[in-house]
Amino acid sequence: MHVSSNGYMDDDELVLAALVGDLYAFDELVLRYRPAMVVVPDVVQDALLLAYKALHRSI
């Protein structure tokens, strides 16, 4: 897992970390996309739930 000098991990890196069980990485992804939940909350919530379930199928 690579963290840049500013402590930032990109989405791809967070997904990879979540794949190996890092729930904090998945939490970070949720926090990044939380503002979209204000605009279309049901769509974003459904997408995040599907993404989380898909993580476990891909290992």
Model's pTM, two decimal places?
Answer: 0.63
Given a cut of 60, is residue 51 above it in pLDDT? Answer: yes
Average pLDDT score over residue span 15-28 = 92
HEC profile of 1-57: CCCCCCCCCCHHHHHHHHHCCCHHHHHHHHHHHHHHHHHCHHHHHHHHHHHHHHHHH
